[in-house]
Amino acid sequence: MTVGERRNFRQNSPSNTPKGGGPGSGKGTQCKRIAQQFGYTHLSVGEILRQEISSGSETGSMIQKIMKEGKLVPSDVTVRLLQQAMQGINSDKFLIDGFPRNEENVKAFEDLTKMEPEFVLYLDCPQDEMEKRLLSRNEGREDDNIETIRKRFKVFMESTLPTIEYYESKGKIRKVDAGKSVDEVFESIKVIFSQGKDNKVPPSRHKCKCLIL
């Protein structure tokens, strides 16, 4: 990220961007299908963080407190865990789910991994629909309660929408209406994944093909 891009990142007001997307938009659901149909390795950053909590480490208990509050884990921790997860996998087609969520994440990701996504899939979904989905998810997630869900929405609006703006300014956002049925959403995603490659990104940086927000 250049100095000018960092300045733009901060100046961009989320008020001009779509107001949907974020927790419960269907990222995990669609990633499973994309991975299966297009041969990607799916890495959910939220899942990687939950695994660290399950390990019982000190870092895990720090992450647990942050997640309960619906806040974002410091970038150095997140990127280190993401890199560790990538190292064990012999793949050049990573589908990174739910990351980067703020400016600090973007910078740490670019600096530490030297990767650049070919495009970023943005699942745009009305907030009332996402709230309904999260409240009926039933996977025992500590952050799927109404109080934390509302905090997560707020963090998305304040921190992640500017990230989407940043990738938009680089022509990398592929937006999908995620308020429809699972099958309908996947039909739109299939069109995007079947399109030609972006030749502006050097192949050496192409390792991560798509981030999904």
Ligand X SMILES: O=c1ccn([C@@H]2O[C@H](COP(=O)(O)O)[C@@H](O)[C@H]2O)c(=O)[nH]1
CA atoms within 13 A of residue 48's CA, in its CB half-sphere: 19
Binding mask 13-32 for Mg ion (x = CB under 5 A): --------------xx----
Binding at 78: pick from ligand ATP, Mg ion, ligand X, none (beta carbon under 5-8 Å per type): ligand X
Separation in Å, CA 86 to CA 27, 45, 82, 108, 144: 19, 11, 6, 15, 27
What are the residues whose beta carbons fall under 8 Å from the beta carbon of 187, sequence distance 6 or more?
A: none
Size of residue set near Mg ion by CB under 5 A: 2
> Closest distance between ligand X and the C-beta of residue 185, in Å?
17
Among 31, 34, 43, 72, binds ligand X (CB under 6 A): 72
99 binds ligand X (CB under 6 A): yes
d(CA 160, CA 101): 5
Q: Which residue is nearest to ligand X (CB)?
A: 46
Question: In one letter, which amino acid is 203?
Answer: P
Nearest CA among 77, 166, 74 for reference residue 120: 166
Q: Which is nearer to Mg ion, 14 or 28 (CB)?
A: 28
What letters, b where the CB count within 10 A reaches 16 and e where it falls short, cover 8-38?
Answer: ebeebebeebeebbbbbbbbbebbebbbeee
| 33 makes contact with Mg ion (CB under 5 A) | no
- 73 binds ligand X per the rule CB under 6 A: yes
Binding site for ligand X (CB under 6 A): 23, 45-46, 49, 66-67, 70-73, 78, 98-99, 101, 105, 143, 152
- Site for ligand ATP, rule CB under 6 A: 23-29, 46, 98, 133-134, 137, 181-182, 185
